[in-house]
A and B are shown apart, each in its own frame.
Chain A
Amino acid sequence: MRFLLLISPIILSLAIIGCGDQEHSAEDKKAGTTEKQDDKKTLTSIDAVIPLEPIGLVSETLHKEPKKDPWKGEVFNELADSQLKDLGEIIKDPKTISQVDASSLIANDFQPVQLAPKNLKSVFNDSSFRVLHDASPEQSPEENKSFRNALSELVEPILEATKIDVKFKTFNVSINESGKSTSESYVEIIGHTQKEIISQKARWHCVWEWASASDLPKIISIKVNEFEQSIGLLDKGTPLFSDCTGSIFSQCRDFNNQFLRGTDYWASRLENRYGIGLSGWHGITIGDVNGDGIDDIYVCEPGGLPNRLFISKSDGQLIDASSLSGTNFRLQTQSALFLDMDNDGDQDLVIATTLGIIFMANDGRANFTVKTTKLIPESAPMCISAADYDLDGDLDLHVGCYSLRRSSVHGNGNQMLARPIPYHDANNGGRNALLRNDLNWQFKNVTMSIGMDVNNRRFTLASSWEDYDQDGDPDLYVANDYGRNNLYRNDRDSSGNAQFVDVAAEAGVEDMSAGMSVSWSDADGDGDQDLYVSNMWSSAGNRIAYQRQFQKEADQESITGFRRHARGNSLFLNSGNGKFKDVSIEAGVTMGRWAWGSRFADINNDGMQDIIVGNGFITQSGDTGDL
């Protein structure tokens, strides 16, 4: 073969034009264009707040909170909720229940009830946990008690508890004009004793007497569905997991100042043009960077704060190697991976920042050198996952992108609230990319040519590779916010070239919801890989989406889509024939609340994969009410 000497006009142009390449256009600053109001008015010394005049109110028409009419269900919910909170206060003091006056909570014709099922069945028992369960407790009229006595029975296991938490979450309400309304709530009672942590969970179907919006509703009857009691056995006062954060970082000087401070602290002090937002989407990766057989970690940080490489010592504690290793970038960083990208036997580092991907080579002793960077045009990288999709012996990267880049130059800016359209099935987010490893730190964006540019503009938060169909090549599942997920099946042709087809719908794993994370594992022990996807479980979303006023003009398909959005996490069992079965509800794993990271992990070494779910969107102190 000849070395072809083609004329490349790009090279020509570089030769003649040379410099002048580095002009960056300045970011738009909209000083003073948005008028905002501040509602805090308390005044005390230095931390006092300057009282501000109302400046351009966020008008009521802009933010229609469903509490006002015509959302009568929400009015009822708020009142019932305050009653249940009162009940919670009663339960928190179990010793006084026999004397409590519950007349403000229950109706005169309250029906006797049994709140603690008699026939609890032990479904799990080892040296760490005991679980008792009754799927549909039967109530025999002769066993039913007065409200007080039923409550006393319910709290009996936690009578000696030193700390008690009670929580009600109402997820469905129905208003009946005859004055009898119903609610469906999760009830959780947690008591800590010297030797145990006892948690009781149940679903209560309550019938309320509620005459008008100005009255407090009163409980007429309660039906207990699905009662579960789980007990954690403490060892010297400690449950299975203990927090060793303080000791593991005790030798890292900057740890307290950087990491003990929450996102709100930093986001009110670091300029937002560095990319720091409030959502806290920053990951962590683990790998052995110095070849001592012990894992080390790399922690991703918001713009303005350095990412950190912590190296583990033999005693399990960490030393901070961020500066020494050359990895302490302060670019807004979402996620990272330790991988051997150049097949030289050590763990290199791939970092997903808002600007693009940074590839760093490891010299085997945790000294990292930047080899190349890669822009993902139009979108800002969020998550990365690696596999050798073309089976040529090197690792390729999938880069999931959430929202569009703000401008072509600066990828920074608060990504927290994207603008999905339509909400339940949006495809106007960032475009994901597959970067093929061409060795020598060359990567090529091949998304389009391998068939992955299909359904590719969703709001991706997570992706993970797995050969779910067991044909020898890796397939990819992508979890997207605001809509459908993707399952890209790898269909290699006879000469070994990979082509992907999105088969999420036919495989039954579209999971139309707010996908936040992807975890693969053999959950049912049948040898193939099952799928857990974390989503949102929203009590408000559940309540609203089932009321008549909700989206009156919408077709049934859209309504189903909206409702599905609030259902929660999903567990799909692999049927082995290319299809999955949605067992989320029967398995009891939907309730992850506003879930983010999830992991399968066999935490008690019984051979079965348990699930851990991280929860909570935005918790702010001094808060005046959850949105």
Chain B
Amino acid sequence: MAQSPLKKNPSSEIGSYLQNWDALGSMITRGRSFSGYEKNCCFLNLGSETTGSSIKFADISAASGLNLIDDTRAIIATDWDHDGDLDLWSTNREGPRIRFLRNNLKEGQRSGSVSLYLKGTTCNLDAIGAKLTLKMGSRKMTRSLRAGGGFLSQSSKRILFGMQKNDSEKGALEVIWPGGQKEIFEKIIPGSVYLIVQGSGKAQEMTKKERKINLPESRPEPQSQTERARIILTQRVKAPLLEYVNFNGNLKRYDPDQDGKSPTLINLWASWCGPCVAELSEFKKYYSQIQSKDLQIIALTTEAITENNSKPDLEKAKELIKKNDYPFKVGVTDAKSLRLLTLLNNQLFSRERPLPLPTSFLLDKYGQLAIIYRGPVSTDQLIKDINLLSASPRAVSEASFPFNSNDGSELFKIGPLDFAKAYQEGGYLKEALLEAQKLTDATIEKKDNSSTNNKAKAWIFIATLEQSQKNWKLSAAAYQKAIGLLPDQPLLKIQSGVMLWMAGKRDIANATFQEIAKSGSSNPVILDTLGKAHQQIDREKEAINFFNAAIGLRPEHTPYQINLAIAHQRNKNPSEAVKIYRKIISKNDPALNAKNNLAWILATDPDDKIRDAKSALKLSKEVNQQTGHKNFATLDTLAAAQAENGQFAEAVKTINKAIQSARAAGKLQIVDKLQQKAEIYSSKSPFRSNRK
């Protein structure tokens, strides 16, 4: 803090400030405390009467027994044992990383407590946001029902009004439900539990469940720290090149690229370290088994590295080697190799612990670190673990994680474009564009399909993003890039044609459409897409031709027929559209789209000869029965049909339902349009659609 830059855009000072953060971080990483050994606090509310100030608290941290040193994080208050007082849960950084603290308030101080379960009916079912005021004699207490607060925590939805036995008058509960609706619940009796249902007007008393609580005091002791560990990596890391000197004084090396043909155990030992010597003896004893697994051992003493660079004494190590004549490679490591191994270890963990002796690193045949043993490893374990080196990722994962668990990361779509899409959804278009551009900038290393596809996808994403902002030229250019990567995609070319047309390059667009139409004349999908493309650029006649051509190839495909009907409708030919819809309906069941679209025309067309109020209402009712009166689009049609039949009150009701469903679906622009219709129906007029 003493070196924080003062401006928002600092220049020179920022470097050292950030370096300080990093220095601080690495000191903590290596075991320094930072505002550690602090106790939890509890402040007792003394009210204002006795102290004279507006509000005053006393520190009862020690007196309440809550002054624990836990590095506490989240705290929850809840009447866990249903005895009328608030117990506490906490999560902590230190072990125990979760604690339950039971409130021992005396019987007389809690037997008057009132507990409530809330249930919303028109508001959210949990009634989150409800405000409660309980009046008991002269006392008035308020609570709110919230979801999420404090730090990373949520307290109980079972609301407790803690009260003493002598608060024995009947009370009244006022609830303000989310949205502001106020409701009074009378006859609240101390010591009871109630279910409070929105709109019911009456507090339902619940029978208290008989519970034999069995929670004696029992403070767990944190488990003793040990340095021993067997850590199986789920993502292996390439080992560094290591140099050492053998006991004949020759310089040797472990080269992960050369020596990696068989698995290797790098073992660190010292002659003064009992467990190290025992471990070496075991390796020797079972060496034939180790050899049968094609494992090579390189056992290195650390005794050449001394404090203050004093002269190392290697006599004992030499003696040990001479005496035992180990069948595997032995040597002396220098500071550099040890440092490389330490760094290899340290980069993997947020908390660096100094390496104990012995420590071993098991490297696979590709020279990658697979398992770290802090403390001695038995030969049995070692032999088993060699099998893990070639096991499936799943088996490695199962062996690695300390408890039965599910990964969870596979639940997230984090493919290349998903972040761009997430930005786009939030309206962060600039960020979405940048995210997609990262992909388009990436060089394609492998000329395989997936990377080309990913890059093309990014261009298509950019094209649609530009299109949504009506940047037709930029959109067309992006499509061109995509087409450059995927030259054989006619649908892409069609979309690019639409953008070119919008950008004013109608000749090129036309040429593109004609070329595609020619080459795709036998493909109904291409013809249908060409139809839709022409619809987008308001060339309804051409659209009709393409849809007809598509239908010619696939006569029974309903979606093409619906597209054709819509094109006729837009081309001021509703009677042709009606004809097509009737044909679809006669052949298909339930044909909801056709029925709904037909009903819409029959209810709203400006032409009296085309409108047919009764048929419209009948069709629309059928459709809404199928959709459960929940779809705002079909409700919109029903309202129009009702209005056309003079049932304006029903129409208003229906359109309001549609508004509700559109708002719930977040379609706010549609809400606006529906609200305009609601006004029309309220003034007892039917709705007439405009022809373009």
Whole-angstrom distance between the alpha carbons of A612 and B243 in the complex? Answer: 57
CB distance from A410 to the nearest CB of B (A): 8
In contact, B179 and A598 (Cβ under 8 angstroms): no
One of A374, A436, A523, A605 near B109 (C-beta < 8 A): A605
Residues of B near A258 (CB, < 8 A) are 402-403
Whole-angstrom distance between the alpha carbons of A615 and B89 in the complex? Answer: 14
Listed stretches B154-162, B244-252, B291-299, B379-387; interface member: B154-162
Whole-angstrom distance between the alpha carbons of A244 and B217 in the complex? Answer: 4
In contact, A9 and B215 (Cβ under 8 angstroms): no
B331 within 8 A of A: no
Interchain residue pairs with CB less than 8 A apart (24): A9-B467, A12-B529, A32-B347, A46-B358, A50-B268, A50-B359, A230-B63, A243-B100, A257-B223, A263-B97, A273-B348, A343-B124, A392-B663, A394-B124, A408-B414, A421-B8, A527-B133, A573-B54, A583-B53, A597-B150, A613-B40, A618-B28, A619-B71, A627-B28
Residues of A near B268 (CB, < 8 A) are 50
A429 within 8 A of B: no
A376 within 8 A of B: yes
Listed stretches A97-105, A136-144, A440-448; interface member: A440-448
A391 within 8 A of B: yes
Known: A9-B463, A46-B356, A272-B349. A386 touches B148 (CB 8 A): yes
Known: A385-B147, A607-B141, A613-B41. A271 touches B349 (CB 8 A): yes
Residues of A near B179 (CB, < 8 A) are 391, 472-473
Residues of B near A213 (CB, < 8 A) are none
In contact, A228 and B58 (Cβ under 8 angstroms): yes
Known: A127-B106, A284-B98, A395-B126. A417 touches B78 (CB 8 A): no
In contact, B152 and A462 (Cβ under 8 angstroms): yes
In contact, A624 and B32 (Cβ under 8 angstroms): yes
CB distance from B306 to the nearest CB of A (A): 7
In contact, A50 and B426 (Cβ under 8 angstroms): no
Whole-angstrom distance between the alpha carbons of A287 and B495 in the complex? Answer: 51
Residues of A near B575 (CB, < 8 A) are none
In contact, A31 and B431 (Cβ under 8 angstroms): no
Whole-angstrom distance between the alpha carbons of A390 and B664 in the complex? Answer: 9
Whole-angstrom distance between the alpha carbons of A500 and B231 in the complex? Answer: 49
Known: A376-B422, A518-B150, A615-B38. A328 touches B93 (CB 8 A): no
In contact, B275 and A305 (Cβ under 8 angstroms): no
In contact, A328 and B412 (Cβ under 8 angstroms): no
Contact with A along B381-420 (1 / 0, CB 8 A): 0000000000000000000011111111101111110110
In contact, A38 and B30 (Cβ under 8 angstroms): yes
Known: A353-B408, A423-B4. A7 touches B495 (CB 8 A): yes
In contact, B275 and A46 (Cβ under 8 angstroms): yes
In contact, B152 and A334 (Cβ under 8 angstroms): yes
One of A17, A131, A272 near B348 (C-beta < 8 A): A272
A454 within 8 A of B: no
In contact, A285 and B154 (Cβ under 8 angstroms): yes
Residues of B near A427 (CB, < 8 A) are 8
Listed stretches B259-267, B313-321, B486-494, B605-613; interface member: B486-494
One of B7, B335, B403 near A422 (C-beta < 8 A): B7
Contact with A along B510-548 (1 / 0, CB 8 A): 000000000000000000010011001000000000000
Contact with B along A583-614 (1 / 0, CB 8 A): 10011110111111111111111111111111
Whole-angstrom distance between the alpha carbons of A588 and B84 in the complex? Answer: 28
In contact, A36 and B35 (Cβ under 8 angstroms): no
Contact with A along B44-84 (1 / 0, CB 8 A): 11111011011111111111111101111111111011101
Closest A residue to B404 by beta carbon equals A323
In contact, A619 and B93 (Cβ under 8 angstroms): yes
Whole-angstrom distance between the alpha carbons of A133 and B50 in the complex? Answer: 11
Residues of A near B95 (CB, < 8 A) are 259-262, 265
CB distance from B302 to the nearest CB of A (A): 5
Known: A23-B416, A591-B59, A614-B75. A601 touches B88 (CB 8 A): yes
Closest B residue to A391 by beta carbon equals B179
Whole-angstrom distance between the alpha carbons of A271 and B400 in the complex? Answer: 10
In contact, B104 and A230 (Cβ under 8 angstroms): no
In contact, A62 and B407 (Cβ under 8 angstroms): no
In contact, A385 and B149 (Cβ under 8 angstroms): yes
Residues of B near A179 (CB, < 8 A) are none
Residues of A near B647 (CB, < 8 A) are none
B307 within 8 A of A: yes
By secondary structure, the A interface counts as: loop
In contact, B55 and A523 (Cβ under 8 angstroms): yes
Listed stretches B13-21, B282-290, B550-558, B583-591; interface member: B13-21
In contact, A64 and B3 (Cβ under 8 angstroms): yes
Residues of B near A612 (CB, < 8 A) are 40-43, 66, 75, 77, 88
One of A29, A373, A444, A445 near B412 (C-beta < 8 A): A373
Residues of A near B359 (CB, < 8 A) are 50
User: 10 tightest CB-CB pairs across the interface, nearest first?
Assistant: A283-B152, A472-B180, A385-B148, A614-B72, A280-B93, A232-B63, A246-B218, A239-B65, A20-B450, A619-B36
Residues of A near B211 (CB, < 8 A) are 294, 314-316
Residues of A near B27 (CB, < 8 A) are 58, 63, 627
In contact, A264 and B492 (Cβ under 8 angstroms): no
One of A58, A573, A611 near B57 (C-beta < 8 A): A611
B680 within 8 A of A: no
Closest A residue to B239 by beta carbon equals A31
Of the candidates A18, A330, A605, the one having the most CB atoms from chain B within 10 angstroms of its own CB is A605
Closest A residue to B415 by beta carbon equals A21
In contact, B209 and A271 (Cβ under 8 angstroms): no
In contact, A284 and B153 (Cβ under 8 angstroms): yes
Of the candidates B26, B62, B164, B216, the one having the most CB atoms from chain A within 10 angstroms of its own CB is B62
Known: A240-B105, A304-B401, A373-B413. A604 touches B44 (CB 8 A): yes
Whole-angstrom distance between the alpha carbons of A604 and B453 in the complex? Answer: 65
B360 within 8 A of A: no
Whole-angstrom distance between the alpha carbons of A459 and B131 in the complex? Answer: 30
Whole-angstrom distance between the alpha carbons of A583 and B53 in the complex? Answer: 10
In contact, A387 and B128 (Cβ under 8 angstroms): yes
CB distance from B613 to the nearest CB of A (A): 17
CB distance from A213 to the nearest CB of B (A): 20
Which B586-632 residues have C-beta < 8 A from chain A? 593, 596-597, 600
Closest A residue to B663 by beta carbon equals A392
Whole-angstrom distance between the alpha carbons of A523 and B309 in the complex? Answer: 64
Listed stretches B322-330, B337-345, B501-509; interface member: B337-345
Closest A residue to B193 by beta carbon equals A293
B692 within 8 A of A: no
Listed stretches A87-95, A217-225, A463-471; interface member: A463-471
One of B139, B148, B155 near A599 (C-beta < 8 A): B155
Residues of A near B566 (CB, < 8 A) are 2, 5
Residues of A near B418 (CB, < 8 A) are 375
Residues of B near A250 (CB, < 8 A) are 218
B447 within 8 A of A: no
Whole-angstrom distance between the alpha carbons of A486 and B450 in the complex? Answer: 44
Given known contacts A283-B74, A312-B80, what 7 new A-B pairs fall within 8 Å (CB)? A20-B454, A49-B356, A51-B307, A286-B76, A343-B124, A377-B423, A627-B28
CB distance from B13 to the nearest CB of A (A): 9
Residues of B near A609 (CB, < 8 A) are 45
Contact with A along B98-133 (1 / 0, CB 8 A): 111111111011101100010000111110110101
In contact, B129 and A465 (Cβ under 8 angstroms): yes
In contact, A620 and B33 (Cβ under 8 angstroms): yes
Of the candidates A328, A344, A553, the one having the most CB atoms from chain B within 10 angstroms of its own CB is A328
Closest A residue to B111 by beta carbon equals A605
A207 within 8 A of B: no
One of A64, A273, A317, A620 near B215 (C-beta < 8 A): A317
Known: A377-B435, A384-B148. A47 touches B356 (CB 8 A): yes
Which A479-534 residues have C-beta < 8 A from chain B? 495-497, 516-525, 527, 529, 534
Whole-angstrom distance between the alpha carbons of A613 and B449 in the complex? Answer: 56
B350 within 8 A of A: yes
One of B104, B141, B460, B461 near A235 (C-beta < 8 A): B104
